């Protein structure tokens, strides 16, 4: 498992660009079972907030910026900036720009992951033309792999970079050279569309399919195909199918993995727990509206947000609800949730897209501890990612119609939040 570098990358659904990160420095040193939990579940041991955090820095990269992925590793924040088709690296402590690289078109391909190999320190980007590997320190291109219509959401397993392609194939290339190793065709057995979820309406023009973010435990790669309403499990070394699971609605979220279970969300208003070896459904939970976000897993709970404006904590082994938390404040604000929560130190942190607010929730009681709106007027369009006492998110401009006029609020930016240095020192 030493070559596993798992992306916590959540792929965008059309106009919903989300973010990514890399395997933490701590998880890289842990046994395999713990490594899976840390890298794929949105749960970490310590975040170090001793009080409500504040904005430490903001970097907007230009007023019309549009982000499609954020990765954080070893003091570097790498950002996909879609509107200018570039990857930008920022210093995690200050937000200062370190380098930028023109990666090629980034209109559809939105995926970024950092390796944690001692002899191959790279940022790997999925774009409209394929995969690109960049040196993490300099931004210099190391290799490029071309595909017919681009790839989304790369992950790394068994020394390979693996990503779902919009050409109807999953592509695997050598991590260090970009040489193709295998392809997996997922169009040959494409299932019929469930009632009310026409695949033609879900696909981008000129693309055979719409794959989503991949996850891995180092042996198997799991990814959902949005327009086919299903999740695939593929052997990472051989590219052979292990199982497939189809829901009754489009599936956008990145699968969340533990030692024995794969958790997936569906727009059929259900959240599913699947047996990792067989793909058989263990249980499901019904929600009030569609589900598009991945989950955070703790020792006891599965926690996820839904577009019904609620955060759900479900008892892992049973599938029974523990608590629900309403982010709409009783219907006063919109509650669209597209982000994976982050769980740490008995708390759950979850951004809400539509309100632009991060909610801190007590994991045991489900009660609010604090709320923070880092950039008033803007929407938070990423997962929360963490390194060295700082949480990183991206925002986008909020557009709304007022009469005949289109009103734009907030700004698109990469933001670091946390306690000031003296506060963080008190927690250590």
Q: What is the pLDDT of residue 21?
A: 37
Report DSSP state, residue 419.
-
Q: How many CB atoms lie within 10 A of CB 144?
A: 16
Q: Domain residue spans in the chain?
A: 27-426
Please report, rounded to a whole number, the percentage of residues in the chain having pLDDT higher than 70: 88
Q: Where residue 321 falls among pLDDT bands split at 50, 70, 90?
A: very high
* Cα 316 to Cα 35: distance, rounded to the nearest angstrom: 19
> In angstroms, how far is CA 170 from the centroid of its own chain?
18
Query: Comparing 113 with 25, which gets the higher pLDDT?
Result: 113
Q: What is the structure's pLDDT at 423?
A: 52
Q: What's the mean per-residue pLDDT of the chain?
A: 86
Taking the model in full, what pTM does it have? 0.89
Each residue's pLDDT tens digit, 173-192: 999 999 999 999 999 999 99
Which residues neighbour 397 within 8 Å (Cβ) at sequence distance 6 or greater?
378, 379, 408, 409, 410, 411, 412
CATH architecture entry for 27-426: 7 Propeller (2.130)
Q: Pick from 351, 356, 362: which is nearest to 397 by CA?
A: 356
Which pLDDT belongs to residue 409? 86
pLDDT of 109 over the 80 cut: no
* Distance between CA atoms of residues 249 and 138, nearest Å: 42
Average pLDDT score over residue span 141-161:
92
Q: How confident is the model at residue 428 (pLDDT cuts 50, 70, 90)?
A: low
Tokens matching residue 119: 């002899």
What pLDDT does 114 receive? 87
Q: What is the pLDDT of residues 205-251, one digit of tens each?
A: 888 999 998 999 999 999 999 999 999 999 999 999 999 999 999 99
Quick one: pLDDT at residue 12?
28
Structure confidence at residue 152 (pLDDT): 84
Distance (Å, whole) CA 7 – CA 391: 17
Give the ranges where 143-202 is alpha helix by DSSP (H).
199-202
Q: What is the DSSP string of 367-407?
A: -EEEEE-SSTTPEE-S--EEETTEEEEEEE-EEEEETTEEE
**pLDDT at 308 > cutoff 80:** yes
Alpha carbon separation from 271 to 254, 281, 401 (Å, rounded): 12, 11, 32
């Amino acid at each position: 498992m030493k070559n596993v570098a798992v992306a916590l990358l959540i792929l965008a659904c059309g106009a919903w660009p989300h973010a990514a990160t890399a395997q933490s420095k701590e998880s890289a040193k842990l046994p395999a079972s713990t490594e899976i939990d840390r890298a794929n579940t949105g749960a970490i041991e310590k975040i170090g907030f001793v009080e409500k955090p504040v904005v430490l820095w903001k970097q907007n990269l230009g007023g019309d910026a549009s982000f499609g992925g954020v990765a954080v590793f070893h003091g570097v924040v790498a950002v996909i900036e879609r509107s200018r088709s570039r990857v930008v690296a920022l210093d995690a402590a200050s937000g200062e720009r370190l380098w930028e690289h023109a990666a090629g078109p980034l209109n559809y391909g939105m995926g970024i992951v950092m390796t944690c190999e001692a002899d191959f320190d790279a940022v790997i980007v999925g774009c409209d033309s394929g995969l690109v590997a960049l040196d993490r320190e300099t931004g210099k291109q190391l290799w490029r792999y071309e595909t017919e219509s681009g790839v989304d959401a790369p992950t790394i397993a068994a020394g390979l970079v693996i990503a779902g392609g919009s050409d109807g194939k999953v592509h695997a290339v050598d991590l260090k050279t970009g040489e193709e190793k295998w392809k997996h065709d997922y169009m040959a057995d494409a299932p019929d569309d469930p009632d009310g979820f026409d695949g033609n309406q879900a696909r981008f023009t000129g693309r055979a399919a719409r794959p989503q973010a991949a996850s891995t435990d180092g042996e198997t790669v799991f990814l959902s195909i949005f327009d086919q309403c299903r999740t695939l499990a593929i052997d990472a070394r051989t590219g052979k199918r292990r199982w497939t699971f189809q829901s009754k609605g489009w599936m956008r979220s990145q699968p969340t993995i533990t030692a024995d279970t794969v958790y997936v969300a569906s727009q059929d208003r259900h959240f599913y727990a699947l047996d990792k070896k067989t793909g058989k459904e263990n249980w499901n939970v019904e929600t009030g509206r569609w589900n598009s976000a991945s989950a955070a897993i703790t020792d006891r709970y599965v926690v996820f947000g839904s577009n019904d404006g609620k955060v759900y904590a479900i008892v892992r082994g049973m599938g029974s609800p523990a608590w629900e938390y309403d982010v709409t404040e009783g219907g006063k604000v919109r509650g669209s949730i597209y982000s994976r929560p982050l769980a740490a130190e008995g708390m759950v942190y979850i951004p809400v897209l539509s309100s632009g607010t991060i909610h801190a929730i007590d994991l045991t009681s489900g009660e609010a501890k604090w709320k923070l709106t880092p950039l008033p007027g803007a929407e938070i369009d990423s997962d929360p990612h963490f390194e060295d006492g700082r949480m990183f998110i991206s925002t986008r401009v909020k557009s709304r119609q007022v009469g005949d006029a289109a009103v734009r609020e907030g700004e698109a930016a990469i933001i670091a939040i946390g306690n000031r240095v003296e506060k963080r020192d008190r927690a250590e």
